[in-house]
Amino acid sequence: MRSTVSICPDCMREVPGAVMAGKDGAWLVRTCPDHGEYRFPLSRHGEAYADLDRFFFDVIEGRRAAGRITNYWVFLTNRCQQKCPYCSVNTDSPFHDDMKEEDFRQALREYRGTKLTLSGGEPTMHPQCLDFFREARKMGVATQLATNGLRLADLEFCRQLKEAGVTEVRISMEYWDEGLPDTTGMAHHREQKRKAVENCLRAGIPVILSPTLLKGCNERTLLETLAYAADRPEIKELSVNGFSWNGSGTGLARDLMIMPDEMVDVIHGEYGGDRESYFTLAKTMFAALHLLNIRLCLNTQVLVFVRRREGMRPVNEFLNMRGMKRGVAAWERFARAPRAVSLAAFCVCMLPALSLRTVPLLWSLALLVFSNLSRIKIHRYPARLLPVVLNTNCSPLNADNDIVPRCMSGNLFMSGGKLTEGMSALTLRNRVHRADGDAPAKHRGE
């Protein structure tokens, strides 16, 4: 179907690869002269996935990455008290240094036009974490905290975060409700993480729930967090991460890695409806983000849920999905037109997607778009809607050199005393592999 360059996960050499699809699924296939063929599953829906791949590369993107990076992850420290066995960063083998106050000021000066997500390691273990947020607030830079949540189980610390100016808090978790077998050894943190979420809501801090999924282990956590967010509009987004075979995670089984379309299967199994409608929605979301000039990654899918009295329902149920499918097909002819023409055509082509059930959501949908026009302002997302972002980091298992440069996030870290800019997918993947063709991270000012 589509030829690419990939990596043999056994010897870490670049080898020819291809995305191949059939009636029973889609795979990234590569053949190493020493280790033979390796097939990585992408989707159980081969023909529909092949059409989504075609739409992404042949209709809107082409073979060169485009669009703006709207968020940079700032690695403050390597320290972390959780020590996840699947950690893609691998804090026991650090690749960056702790960031100092002047280093962070430099990052604020040079990247003030984007949102900065303070991460690590565990950023709350940096002794100047609160000072960094205060400095960002002084300079008018939107900030997000990406945390394991353990320190946020202290309500007073959450109040200090609010005072310091944190815009949003993203809390990672592996388990939510009782009942799932503890296959990761991390379930003992469940109550602290739930308390962290509740403390943030009490302190008035918008929350992003960020489950980490391992295939065949804890996919139910995705559904549990969706249900929890149903009557809590202060929870603004679900950002779901699939286990990525990187860092210390390379010590775990390869078949634990789950792709976004497999996560959609989990949601479809719970909420029902037409499975094809999710592929139509994926095309529409890719087109909309493209028109907003936001960088796209095929390893990310964005769903939207609607809060109702009886619980969450997929936005698909409030749209004429057959009309949307016809509209997306019609818009393909205008995808490469000048942006103004393409945008106008998109608006016209999406009219058949509207129905009477859509009308009460129009204002909320407009607010969701406006929240992403200049920066991705999750804290301003409308209360009625809950975006659910499904993604999996690039690793040697799913390495596809057509996708790797399209990562939607950058990262900033200290290396050799210099502020260094990387791309999230490459930075993580290169902890296992440095391919000859990969662009190295660059030091600012060089």
Summarize pLDDT for 319-358 with one digit per residue, the tens.
999 999 999 999 999 999 999 999 999 999 999 999 999 9
- Alpha-carbon distance of 177 to 211, in angstroms, equals 12
Residue type, 381: Y
Give the whole-angstrom CA distance, residue 325 versus residue 331.
10
Give me the pLDDT at residue 437, please.
37
pLDDT tens digit sequence for 223-245: 999 999 999 999 999 999 999 88
Q: Torsion over CA of 203, 206, 208 and 209, rounded to 10 degrees?
A: 40
Which residues, including other chains, have CB under 8 Å from residue 48's CB and lie 6 or more apart?
Answer: 275, 276, 279
Whether the per-residue pLDDT at 69 is higher than 60: the answer is: yes
**Quick one: how many helices (H) and strands (E) in the chain?**
12, 16
| CATH classification of the domain holding 147 | 3.20.20.70
Domain count, the chain: 1
| Residue tagged 């960056």 (tokens) | 96
**232-261 average pLDDT score:** 93
Is residue 121 a part of any domain in this protein? yes
CA angle 94, 197, 202 (to 5 degrees): 130
Domain membership of residue 364 (yes or no) is no
Checking if the pLDDT of 442 tops 60, the result is: no
Q: Is residue 285 part of a domain?
A: yes
Q: Do 343 and 289 touch, CB atoms closer than 8 A?
A: no
Domain for residue 2, yes or no?
no
Structural domain range at position 139: 67-302+382-446
> Is residue 78 assigned to a domain?
yes
Domain-located, residue 262 = yes
Sign of CA pseudo-dihedral 224, 230, 235, 236:
positive
The first and second tokens of residue 128, run together, are 């100047």
Residue 309 counted as domain residue: no
Could you read off the pLDDT of 375-415 as tens digits, one per residue?
A: 788 999 999 999 999 999 888 999 999 998 888 888 899 98
Residue at 95 is within a domain: yes
